Amino acid sequence: MSLEGMAALVTGGSRGIGRAVCLELARQGAAVAVNYAGSIQAAEETVRQCRQLGVEAELFQADVASPAACDALVAAVKERFGRLDILVNNAGISRDGLLMTAKEEDFSKTLDTNLKGAYFCTKAAAKVMLRQKYGRIVSLSSVVGLRGNPGQTAYAASKAGILGLTKAAAKELAGRDITVNAVAPGYIATDMTAALPEKAREAMLTTIPKGRPGTPEEVARAVAFFAQRESAYVTGQVLCVDGGMAV
């Protein structure tokens, strides 16, 4: 299978899972638009590594929590590559805290980035994809969005919201060869999970039948499956990449 001739936009492509997705899509031949919020050096490194794989890659700064920024981002990618075949809604944050003590501003910031960001980008990308009569949209949800997790009400709500967005958009866009799917990782070794207290990480490990955290590359391969032209008949689905955590 190959993604040659395709153009992909990956939000939050500077680090972690997003960088691994950029590199996997590049390895399969796609031109890659690497979005980031603030980490320009890390994003430049992703671009450099994509280009080393022999594909076109470009840097695009944008805060996905802003609808205007998402519109401008998609327009800039379309301008640069002439098309947009694959959107990966990966950008995400976690602002954890117990229900009774967490601040409303952290809830809003989490929803704005994780859920509304995916909504804004999906909407902007769908306009291009509807005209093309082709598109593959993949969003990063989480096992926490399926199962919940104490101390993560905002994050869980945002990731459960991704599932609803995915299923509804899948039904709306299916007629134009646009698929919309989600990948739900469990515990993946990235900056996001490195920021958790060691006790929380140890507790999470005990819930994983595989007995280890996943790698960003393992998540990227699931994203790349949905991104294939040949995956045309798979839409509205959620694939857990979690070492058995959610079983």
Q: Smallest distance, Å, CB 85 to ligand NAP?
A: 20
Residue 155's identity, in one-letter code, is Y
Instruction: Show the tokens assigned to 104.
Output: 């409303």
When computed from its CA atoms, the radius of gyration of the chain, rounded to whole angstroms, is 17
d(CA 7, CA 33): 8
Nearer Cβ to ligand NAP, position 37 or 239? 37
Q: Are 146 and 162 in contact (CB under 8 A)?
A: no
Residues 7-26 that bind ligand NAP (CB under 6 A): 11-12, 14-18
Among 77, 81, 92, 208, binds ligand NAP (CB under 6 A): 92
Q: Smallest distance, Å, CB 133 to ligand NAP?
A: 28
d(CA 238, CA 236): 7
Interaction pattern, residues 114-153, with ligand NAP; x per rule: CB under 6 A: --------------------------x-x-----------
Among 56, 63, 71, 218, binds ligand NAP (CB under 6 A): 63
Nearer Cβ to ligand NAP, position 166 or 190? 190
Instruction: Show the tokens assigned to 28.
Output: 């399969």
Residue 237's identity, in one-letter code, is Q
Q: Are 144 and 162 in contact (CB under 8 A)?
A: no
Stretch that binds ligand NAP, among 63-71, 95-103, 127-135, 229-237 (CB under 6 A): 63-71
Residues 190-209 that bind ligand NAP (CB under 6 A): 190-193
Burial of 10 (0-12, 13-18, 19+ CB in 10 A): buried
Helix then strand then coil, in percent of the chain rounded to 5, is 50, 15, 35
Q: Smallest distance, Å, CB 231 to ligand NAP?
A: 20
Helix (H) or strand (E) holding 33: strand 31-36
Q: Smallest distance, Å, CB 78 to ligand NAP?
A: 18
155 given a catalytic annotation: yes
Q: Smallest distance, Å, CB 26 to ligand NAP?
A: 16
Position 55 contacts ligand NAP (CB under 6 A):
no
- At residue 166's C-alpha, the angle toward residues 73 and 215, to 5°, is 80
- Say which of 119, 155, 187, 233 is annotated catalytic: 155
Q: Which DSSP state fits 187?
A: S
Catalytic sites, residue numbers: 155
- Site of interaction with ligand NAP (CB under 6 A): 11-12, 14-18, 35-39, 42, 63-65, 90-93, 113, 140, 142, 185, 187-188, 190-193
